[in-house]
Amino acid sequence: MPSAASTTLPPSRSEGSSLTESDAALLQPAAEGCPEAFSTLFNRHYGNIHAFAYRLCLCGAEAEDIAQETFIQAARALGSFRGQASFKNWLYAIATNRARDRLRQRQRRERLDTALQAEAMPAGMASRPDAAHDRHDEIRAALGALPLAHREVINLVFYENLNHAEAARVLGCAESTVSWRLFRAKSKLRKLLGSHD
């Protein structure tokens, strides 16, 4: 699988000149070695990428690893980023590829379903009220029942509010594939969550 970091995403239809001014202003100095500029970009996007990674792998520890690998890969490839897509979407593409690699490694060890059920509760969740805790677990289990490709589109379209074309660019697939996967994912989620209404 080609590295997302070495891939130049095509221009976004809805984004136009898609870089926010502040990201655009920071990218050039960051690529030229200014640690403050890179640090600012990191602080701006790290939390979001961590949450994105968590919703893909559904594991707090792995989300931290994926977020770290994403920024390491982005740091190495900053010079090749041409700003044709938003910096955030570029990071999504890298994080998606890192998550795919991670889950592939995990599946080598054991089946994904078993791994998800066996995982311990991530740190920081024990203090949640029971109702919120239950709802979190219910959604986590439902997302865990989806294939990764379906979680990817749910993550990008439902959680990150990308349109289908933008999600297709992040995932490196056709827009119709995104639509098809989203349809399948929603159908399955409705089945899984519907009985609890």
Partner 1 sequence: MTDHDLKNRLSALRPPAPSPEAADRALHRATIAAASSRAYVSINRIRTAWMFPVAAAFSAACLVVLLALRAPAPEASVPALSATDLKLLAQLDEVFPGRINAVVIRDGATELDLAERGSAVNAADQAVVIELSRDNQRLRVLSYSGRDVSLRLAAGTLDFSPLLTADGQVVIAGADFVWSTSAPRPVAGWNIRATPLSAL
Site residues for partner 1 per CB under 8 A: 1-2, 7, 10, 30, 33, 35, 38-39, 42-43, 46-47, 50-51, 54-55, 60, 63-64, 67-68, 71-79, 122-125, 128, 132, 135-136, 138-140, 143, 147-150, 154, 158-159, 165, 168-169, 171-177, 180, 186, 189-190, 193-194, 197
Q: Of 19 and 37, which CB lies nearer to partner 1 in the complex structure?
A: 37
Q: How far is residue 165's CA from residue 107's CA, in Å, rounded to a whole number?
A: 29
Residues 6+ apart with CB under 8 A from 157: 163, 164, 167, 178, 182
> What own/partner pairs with CB < 8 Å and gap ≥ 24 does 102-109 have?
102/57, 102/62, 102/65, 102/66, 103/56, 103/57, 103/148, 106/62
What would the two tokens of residue 33 be? 């070695």
Q: Classify residue 10 as exposed, middle or buried by CB count within 10 Å of its CB (0-12, 13-18, 19+).
A: exposed
Q: What angle do CA 77, 82, 83 make, to 5 degrees?
A: 110
Structure tokens at 77: 């490839």
Residue 135 beta carbon to partner 1: minimum distance, rounded to whole angstroms: 4
Residue 98 beta carbon to partner 1: minimum distance, rounded to whole angstroms: 12
123: DSSP letter = T
Nearer to partner 1, 25 or 125 (CB): 125
Q: In the complex with partner 1, which residue's Cβ is closer, 21 or 197? A: 197
Residue 194 CB, nearest distance to partner 1 (Å)? Answer: 6
Closest CB to partner 1 among residues 18, 73 = 73
Nearer CB in complex with partner 1: 19/78: 78
Distance of closest approach, residue 51 Cβ to partner 1, in angstroms: 4
Residue 26 φ then ψ, to 5° = -90, -25
The H or E element containing residue 130 is helix 130-144
| Residue closer to partner 1 (CB basis): 24 or 44 | 44
- Smallest gap from residue 88 Cβ to partner 1 (A): 16
Minimum distance from CB of 122 to partner 1 (Å)?
A: 5
